Amino acid sequence: MNEMFKNALPVLKRLEDEGYRAYFVGGCVRDLLLDRPIKDIDIASSARPKDVQEIFPKTIPVGIEHGTVIVRHESVSYEVTTFRKEDEYKDYRRPSKVWFVDDLKEDLSRRDFTFNAMAMDISFQLIDHFGGRDDLERKQIRTVGDPNLRFSEDPLRIMRACRFMSVFNMAIERKTEQAIKEKACLLSRISTERIAIEFIKLLQGEQAGSVLKFMQERSVLNHLPTKLQEKQSDLYKDFDWNALESDEQRWTAILLLSDVSDDRAFLKSWKLPNHMIKKVEKLMSAYGIISWRKMDLYRCGLETAISSITLKSAIEKKDNAEEIAQLKQRYREIPIKSRKDIPLDGQDIIEITQREPGIWLGKLLEEMEKKIVEGELALNSTALQDWVKRWEP
Ligand code: ATP
Ligand code: MG
């Protein structure tokens, strides 16, 4: 039995002992059937939030109005959500109203895709009202109910469908596909942050390239926070997305392959956090370096340099092991990794030279640093002091 499910069992059992029904639901059931790593265990129950809070000693009320309480059990968090249904999505961001219901099937029917609408009881019996297991076997993505309606209710599901195509290497059922094309324009009503979360998960998936092409052909890419257009046809499809190792590499790849006039404005339009924007900008400028001299390597750092090589070989679809090995060797040869590694600091230099502090000091330090990095000046106090004494502004 899967460890995570086993560890969660006492929580479900406790709910049942108290006279409520409780099931494993959603992503965890899907991932178990797919034999993929399980991220977290979600539980659906007939118990109302206040009941859950009374039953368990450690709870966190994360979304009581939507029926969700976190139960802490043996240092693991479980989201326990009351069976619910939602009425129409008025602002496209969150359900305008949530109703608690007594029926598991009703709860499952509001879920997006058939494979996300399965449940499992405490004896690991699968409850599958909408043919989710069949769809998993056929590797097919299909909405629960009429896809046009389901995408109109919540257009984010369009992005989720694309994300699942990429991550699970699945195809899309014909009517669901048709509805994606028809409803893609509704994505403009969804918050940028929610789209960005699905988009980056999509780029992490093994089929990112072909799914981007799919999205282009069904004009989904036109309705993202900033319209995405590749610089030349098939760039997205031919790019080796699986070679990438981080989200900053993925965003940089999007910039490199797309027709973008202002990188900063583009990244901001996706509401990416500032630390991510900075990393992407750094990687973009590293990407421009063709041959890595020691000083470039010292300034950028080894990690960014390797990232830029990774991106280049993902575009050219060639192996980069040799190039990275050389880069690492060259980096090892640099005697210092930052200014802090220089045995003399500003104060020492002022004492040696007996000069008044001024802009000359910055210039001297910079020159000294460069000479050390390039191996023209030995990294020992005597040599450095001699050099400082002889230094002319
Ligand atoms: P992940 O592996 O990223 O956690 P997930 O499918 O579990 O994927 P969650 O956002 O954790 O995604 O959602 C949990 C469950 O809630 C889903 O499996 C699905 O049943 C339901 N769900 C999530 N988002 C939606 C949505 N936009 N519309 C309908 N149901 C949804
Ligand atoms: Mg989940």
Q: Which residues line ligand 1 (CB under 6 A)?
A: 26-27, 39, 42, 111-112, 116-117, 154, 156-157, 160
| pLDDT of res. 97 | 77
**23 CA → ligand 2 middle, Å:** 15
Supply the pTM of this predicted model. Answer: 0.91
The architecture in CATH of the region 339-390 reads Orthogonal Bundle (1.10)
3-state secondary structure the chain: CCHHHHHHHHHHHHHHHCCCCEEEECHHHHHHHHCCCCCCCEEEECCCHHHHHHHCCCEEEEEHHHCEEEEEECCEEEEEEECEEECCCCCCCCCCCEEECCCHHHHHHCCCEHHHCCEECCCCCEECCCCHHHHHHCCEECECCCHHHHHHHCCHHHHHHHHHHHHHCCEECHHHHHHHHHHHHHHHHCCHHHHHHHHHHHHHCCCHHHHHHHHHHCCCHHHCCCCCCECCCCHHHHCCHHHCCCHHHHHHHHHHHECCCCHHHHHHHCCCCHHHHHHHHHHHHHHCCCCCCHHHHHHHCHHHHHHHHHHHHHHHCCCCHHHHHHHHHHHHHCCCCCHHHCCCCHHHHHHHHCCCCCHHHHHHHHHHHHHHHCCCCCCCHHHHHHHHHHCCC
264 is in an annotated binding site: no
Among the bound ligands, the one closest to the CA of 26: 1
Residue numbers of the chain with a pLDDT score lower than 70? 87-96
The architecture (CATH level 2) of 139-225 comes to: Orthogonal Bundle (1.10)
Residues with Cβ within 8 Å of residue 101, at least 6 apart in sequence:
83, 84, 85, 107
Predicted local confidence at residue 117, as pLDDT: 98
Name the residue of 68, 110, 111, 164 to mutate for ligand 1: max ligand atoms within 8 A of Cβ: 111
Tens of pLDDT, residue by residue over 268-310, are 999 999 999 999 999 999 999 989 999 999 999 999 999 999 9
- The confidence score (pLDDT) of residue 91 equals 56
Domain coordinates of the chain in residue numbers? 1-135, 139-225, 339-390
Residue closest by Cα to atom 16 of ligand 1 = 26
- Per-residue pLDDT of 196-208, as tens digits, reads 999 999 999 999 9
What is the reported pLDDT for 1? 82
Provide the CATH topology of domain 1-135. Answer: Beta Polymerase; domain 2 (3.30.460)
Pick from 120, 160, 166 the residue to mutate for probing ligand 1's pocket: most ligand atoms within 8 Å of its CB: 160
Is 30 among the annotated ligand-binding positions? yes
- What does the H/E/C string look like for 152-217? HHCCHHHHHHHHHHHHHCCEECHHHHHHHHHHHHHHHHCCHHHHHHHHHHHHHCCCHHHHHHHHHH
Q: Which residues surround ligand 2, an ion (CB under 5 A)?
A: 27
ipTM of the complex: 0.98
